[in-house]
Amino acid sequence: MIANNTIVKGGGIFLQRGGDNTKIINNIITECIRGITSWSGYSEILNNDLYGNHWNYSGIPDHTGINGNISTNPTFVNTTAGDYHLLEDSPCIDAGDPNDIPGPNETDLDGNPRVFGGRIDMGAYEFVPAIDAIIDIRPETLNLASRGKWISCKIWLPEDYNVADVNSSSVFLEDEVQADWLWFNEKQNVVMAKFARSELVGILELGEVELTVTGYLMDGSYFVGTDSIKVIDKGRLRGRRVNSNSKVVDGIEYYIQTDKSLYRLGEHVEMLYRVTNLGDEDVTFSSLPLPEWNFWVEKDGEYIWRAVNVWWGTITEFTLSPGESREFPAHDHPRIWNMRDKENNLVNVGKYSVIGGLYEGSGYYDHTKVSVPIRIIPNR
């Protein structure tokens, strides 16, 4: 039997011999070249999630939709960081074989009971609902122009838990900024954490901001708590901050922006691409029967999503006078990415690159391509 594994970017499961006597059950296999390969048949293939592999099944029939087998994004917590625990909206929760009854001492890879709820999960980790923590973040008003060094946070757990069991290396603010310092008060059952202010200010938006603190206990239990602070910048003009990047090539500025840099999973990402003539003479851009401009989203160099403005069958051009700009699309109608990949599945949390590019006849995207990073965090 091959059961309860999470296999990511590996070789999948390969049965050279004995496949007709091997039961494959409750596994998650994703981003592999092959999901399940057998040269010797198969016995039972039950309640597995094979998703995003080059071939989900090889040498045997496709079992998707049969005997509880699915092909859906398992929605891990953070694949970039190697965290393959399941998010609360994962289709793999309570989706294992209902007839698979673990033994009384059987556990998942974290040592948690193999079943939490009425049915076993797919994969190596059983989904355990987060412990609701109470947190208090200070300062309540954070001025981006100030020179403070720390952001402090008190963490209280429910009475049934001991703060001394908190894994000190697991406490994070916004899933990215790790606590630099922790102090435990077991008498009051509170943890004091300090986070480096310099690591947080770059991902904050102005106004009321809800911040999330997460961590694990030594037994693998997960806790989460939120608090709101006000972010101001008395040295900055009022207006909406955007996330942007640009480069200048031969007197032309190529510019990309998104409406912000930090997003909750499921939010829409607004993007805009702009070309500006910084030279002293008119510049004409010609587009053959190919896309005039594109937007991409990439993760770790891999294409995730693309929006194309196509001028099929025509020759288009536009001219920019010195100092003139052109935006793609129009500024009051930004291009929207709904966090779905090219197969229309919701993406995972992590870091992505939003890229804009222009085809101008002599070079396909090369010198016009410019990108800006964004980060997607869990929607908790």
pLDDT one-digit tens code per residue, 125-153: 999 888 999 999 988 888 776 667 888 99
The radius of gyration of the chain's CA atoms, rounded to the nearest angstrom, is 25
Q: Which residue has the tokens 């398992």?
A: 74
**Same domain? 158 vs 185:** yes
**Same domain? 221 vs 271:** no
110 within domain boundaries: yes
For residue 254, the domain's CATH number is 2.60.40.2360
Tell me which residue range forms the domain holding 210: 131-232
**Same domain? 113 vs 135:** no
Facing residues of 299 across strands? Answer: 302
What are the pLDDT digits (tens) for 315-342?
Answer: 467 788 888 888 877 545 568 899 999 8
Closest CA to 123 of 77, 154, 164: 77
Q: Distance between CA atoms of 38 and 58, rounded to whole angstroms? A: 7
Higher pLDDT, 232 or 163: 163
237 within domain boundaries: no
Q: Which residue has the tokens 């122009």?
A: 145
**Same domain? 113 vs 10:** yes
Of 74, 108, 129, the one marking the end of a domain is 129
**Same domain? 72 vs 1:** yes
What are the pLDDT digits (tens) for 85-137?
Answer: 998 899 999 999 999 888 888 889 988 888 887 799 999 999 988 899 999 99
121: which 2 tokens?
A: 């999960």
Q: Give the predicted TM-score (pTM) of the model.
A: 0.47
pLDDT of residue 188: 87
**Same domain? 281 vs 219:** no
pLDDT of residue 313: 44
Closest CA to 273 of 228, 234, 309: 309
96 within domain boundaries: yes
Task: With cut-offs at 50, 70 and 90, classify the pLDDT of residue 312.
Answer: very low
207 within domain boundaries: yes
CA separation, residue 260 to residues 84, 321, 377, 378 (Å) = 27, 30, 13, 16
Closest CA to 155 of 200, 207, 216: 216
Pair 67, 85: CB distance under 8 Å: no
Of 96, 129, 162, the one marking the end of a domain is 129
Q: Which residues contact 298 (CB under 8 A, 6 or more apart)?
A: 304, 352, 353, 355, 371
Q: What's the domain count of the chain?
A: 3
For residue 215, the domain's CATH number is 2.60.40.10
Q: Distance between CA atoms of 209 and 365, rounded to whole angstroms? A: 37
pLDDT of residue 104: 80
**Same domain? 263 vs 362:** yes
Helix or strand (DSSP H, E) at 30: strand 28-30
**Same domain? 111 vs 138:** no
**Same domain? 21 vs 140:** no
Q: Which residues contact 145 (CB under 8 A, 6 or more apart)?
A: 233, 234, 235, 236
234: which 2 tokens?
A: 């008395």
367 within domain boundaries: yes
238 within domain boundaries: no
Pair 162, 186: CB distance under 8 Å: yes
363: which 2 tokens?
A: 């070079």
Q: Distance between CA atoms of 86 and 124, rounded to whole angstroms? A: 10
Residue type present at position 364: Y
**Same domain? 318 vs 346:** yes
4 within domain boundaries: yes
DSSP state of 174: T
Task: With cut-offs at 50, 70 and 90, classify the pLDDT of residue 236.
Answer: very low
Q: Distance between CA atoms of 245 and 256, rounded to whole angstroms? A: 6
Pair 84, 348: CB distance under 8 Å: no
Closest CA to 48 of 9, 81, 20, 12: 12
SS3 of the chain: helix, strand, coil, percent, to 5: 5, 45, 50
Mean pLDDT, the chain, whole residue set: 84
**Same domain? 253 vs 270:** yes
152: which 2 tokens?
A: 């402090």
Of 232, 265, 299, the one marking the end of a domain is 232
188 within domain boundaries: yes
Q: Distance between CA atoms of 101 and 15, rounded to whole angstroms? A: 25
**Same domain? 5 vs 67:** yes
